Structure 1
Amino acid sequence: MREEVEDPVALGVQLLERLEHEELSLAEVIDRIETVTTDPATTREILDTAEARGIIDREDATVRPNRSSFLSFEAEVVTKEGEFTCRRCGASISTGYFMKLDAGEHGPFGSSCIRKVTGRE
């Protein structure tokens, strides 16, 4: 079971703000948002809020992030050792990668999932 974040909309919008992709399908964006919430209404609110703030542009099933700043792996991604479950794929991991966003810490992710979520892969 995933723990709920205090403000999933703020966290989801900040996550979209830091994506490094040129463009993504709507399904790929939802894959990223599902690391924050699986509630369809909250997912829709994250997308609508991000679009209203100019963070993303949506056209049909394509989303284009208006990148203002990238996530710095040196300063904004921290690793922690322990027993974790990746928020994206559900795998058991011993090293968790966490994003430090204004809305809170988001993770843990495995090494390949953190790159996938942020657009480094």
Structure 2
Amino acid sequence: MSDDERDPVALGVELLAHLEHESLSVAEAIDRIETVTTNPAVQREILDTAAMRGVIDREDGLVRPRSGGSYVSFEADVVVREGEFSCERCGASLSTGHFVQFDGGELGPFGSTCIRNVLGRE
């Protein structure tokens, strides 16, 4: 599925559903969502849709995922490819890209450090 065909709202909601934090500030959640879209209206739609579907709770400037442990598995859900890429989070040039496989599409590429940041492992 190409970037033009993927649904950014579905992908963003899926990303929020797989976060490994008990809570994030809205700014931290937006930092993650920016890997899907930098459009502020779509970012708001992702947060609103995730809350409406019960994926997250939003209260007092915090986002609390309600996933109950459905975290991304590096072994099963992250594909590593060799090639020439630019990291979706920091813009760095990459020779190895990490891509997260979600039902709603693929998210990436990310470098080895940024993939951990996006998924909340660091």
TM-score range, shorter chain: over 0.9
The answer on whether the counterparts of 1:5 and 1:36 sit within 8 Å (CA) in structure 2 is no
Structure 2 gaps, min length 5: none
Asked if residue 41 in structure 1 is aligned to residue 41 in structure 2, the reply is yes
Structure 1 gaps, min length 5: none
> How many Å separate the matches in 2 of 1:74 and 1:18?
15
The answer on whether the counterparts of 1:23 and 1:62 sit within 8 Å (CA) in structure 2 is yes
Helix, strand or coil for the counterpart of 1:96?
Answer: strand
- Name the residue aligned to 1:101: 102
Give 1:114's aligned amino acid: I
The answer on whether the counterparts of 1:16 and 1:50 sit within 8 Å (CA) in structure 2 is yes
The answer on whether the counterparts of 1:22 and 1:65 sit within 8 Å (CA) in structure 2 is yes
Q: Tell me the CA shift for residue 5 of structure 1.
A: 5.4
> How many Å separate the matches in 1 of 2:48 and 2:38?
16
Asked if residue 120 in structure 1 is aligned to residue 117 in structure 2, the reply is no
- Name the residue aligned to 1:75: 76
- Name the residue aligned to 1:53: 53
Q: Tell me the CA shift for residue 66 of structure 1.
A: 0.9
Two-structure CA RMSD over aligned residues (Å): 1.1
> How many Å separate the matches in 1 of 2:5 and 2:111?
19
Query: Structure 1 runs of 4+ off > 6 angstroms?
Result: none
> How many Å separate the matches in 2 of 1:5 and 1:17?
21
Q: Tell me the CA shift for residue 93 of structure 1.
A: 1.0
The answer on whether the counterparts of 1:13 and 1:49 sit within 8 Å (CA) in structure 2 is yes
Give 1:99's aligned amino acid: V
Identical pairs, percent: 68
Q: Tell me the CA shift for residue 4 of structure 1.
A: 4.5
- Name the residue aligned to 2:26: 26
> How many Å separate the matches in 1 of 2:42 and 2:71?
24
> Deviations 1:7-58 (Å, cap 9, x if unpaired)?
1000000010010011111111001000000111100110000001111111
Helix, strand or coil for the counterpart of 2:36?
Answer: coil
